[in-house]
Amino acid sequence: MKSIRLLPVVCVLFSSSLALTHARAVAEEEHGGAVFVMTNAATGNQIKAYVRKDDGSLQTAGEFATGGNGSGGTVDPLHSQGSLILSADHRWLFAVNAGSGTVSSFAVDDAHLRLVDTEATNGSSPTALAQSGDLLYVLNAGGNGNVSGFRVYGGHLHPIANSTTSLSGGATSPTSLAFSPNGKFLVVTESATNNIDVFRVRPDGTLSGIVVNPSAGAVPFAAVFAPNGALIVGNASNTISSYRLDWDQSLDVISNALPTLGQATCWDVIARGHFVYTANAGTSNLSGFAIAHDGSLTAIDGTIVGVNPGGSTNIDTTASVNGRFVYTLNTGAGAIGIFSVDHDGSLQRIGEVDGLPAAAGLNGIAAY
């Protein structure tokens, strides 16, 4: 029987909310936004907040304790994407506390945060998060790895009974998770097995049985969905792939494993809805690709579209909600790299904000 494709369905859902999303983006472009970075400190995890000005530059706004402990370490100790995320409406910020086995939620008021709740994650070493509507799922990387769900009500986290679900097997080394745009599927990348797990999300917030898909590129690391429903995965083998997600939880490869021309490619972010950028920590630069309507990827110009200073070791990356700016967490240098996004997808380096501890375990960056 011919399978039903997710991509066209997501396009319909996306277009129905396009006007609202555009209005929100325009308003936030006029009034600026904020950028948040997680220290991941082993003795008192914190979030550092910055006001985003209209030109993309950042101004320090404060520090806020998560109520838990991070893992500590030097560069990329969490080995994940999405350890710090904003809700889609930017009202809530969620952070993992890998050392405490907890997740924290904050109410967001411009660049000011108010801690609302901290809850156990039903696993060890939580490293990544994904949110859709009132659902929040956490990826626990300890042991064989699992995912576990919460309902979010007024920023408070309520564990969902029977939501804790195992991954494909032992020693999976999971690195990211992402909800499809319609919220009906949850995807998890397993870097040690070269697998991409797909779960269907039930109405009660629990997950269906797992369908394990082979990755097109070796060492799948960071999963993100484009607004048109294409699943895009940055691979630590210095490649990037895109997929079509079917209703039977299988993945069809669209773009196989395109080279990023960088080293230590692990993280990716989508800007303006149709550009995706990978952060290449080993070469302190970013690669850029255009996303076509069918989900296929095409390298922008010479592929490398943004360069940080040598030794920056840019890991996790994020984009402003208006798509005009991309920010990189430069853990080697203890800084945030700032780039503007041109209409053709090329990046222009604006500069950076320093003052963060260099090689001190920083993980997680989020922006609106």
The span from the CA of 270 to the CA of 257, in Å, is: 18
Proportion of the chain in helix, strand, coil states, percent, rounded to 5:
5, 50, 40
Longest dimension (CA), the chain: 58
Task: Pick the more confident residue, 17 or 97.
Answer: 97
pLDDT at 351: 97
pLDDT at 31: 62
pTM across the whole model: 0.92
Kindly state the helix (H) or strand (E) to which residue 88 belongs, with its residue range.
Answer: none
Q: Would you list the DSSP string of 127-163?
A: EEEEEETTEEEEEE-STT-EEEEEEEETTEEEEPTT-
The span from the CA of 216 to the CA of 196, in Å, is: 10
Show the tokens assigned to 270: 């989508």
Query: 18 pLDDT band (50/70/90 cuts)?
Result: very low
State the amino acid at position 237 in one-letter form.
S
Question: Once rounded to an integer, what is the mean pLDDT over residues 16-41?
Answer: 64
CB 290 within 8 A of CB 265: no
Question: Once rounded to an integer, what is the mean pLDDT over residues 308-328?
Answer: 98
| Average pLDDT over the chain, rounded to an integer | 93
> Is residue 14 predicted with pLDDT exceeding 70?
no
6-367 has which fold? Methylamine Dehydrogenase; Chain H (2.130.10)
pLDDT at 96: 99
pLDDT digits (tens, 9 = 90+) for 246-272: 999 999 999 999 999 999 999 999 999
> Is residue 191 predicted with pLDDT exceeding 60?
yes
Q: Minimum mean pLDDT among 13-22, 236-245, 288-297: which range? A: 13-22
